[in-house]
Amino acid sequence: MSVEKQQMPTGDTSPEAESIQIDLLRKAPTWKRLRVAAEMSETIMLLSRIGVARRNPGASPAELRRLAAEAILGPELAFRVYGR
């Protein structure tokens, strides 16, 4: 049974550079891969909050937190956490 690699487009990164990046990440110690994943997660959450704030300029801080939670967690879990 073979596992087929699924290629996702990476925008402006050349295939050669992408191959080097992937190889370096695969060779990295577990703590470094976890740190990279955590940093990417933080970045995504920050970008989500910024997007919510831009789309809702008059919203209160509490409303922005709830809307960001909906974007990140989904409406059902956000409702369970923040109510309505």
Is position 10 within any domain? no
In a domain, 72, yes or no: yes
**Residue 60 within any structural domain of the chain:** yes
Number of domains composing the chain? 1
Contact 36, 22 (CB under 8 A): no
For the cut 50, the answer to whether the pLDDT of residue 75 exceeds it is yes
SS3 69: helix
User: What's residue 46's pLDDT?
Assistant: 92
pTM: 0.66
Average pLDDT (38-50) is 93
Over residues 36-54, the mean pLDDT reads 93
Tell me the percentage of the chain whose pLDDT exceeds 70: 88
Give one DSSP letter per residue of 34-51, joined into a string. HHHHHHHHHHHHHHHHHH
Q: Measured over all CA atoms, what is the biggest interatomic distance in the chain, rounded to whole angstroms?
A: 55
Enclosing domain of residue 42 = 30-82
**Cβ pair 59, 53 in contact under 8 A:** yes
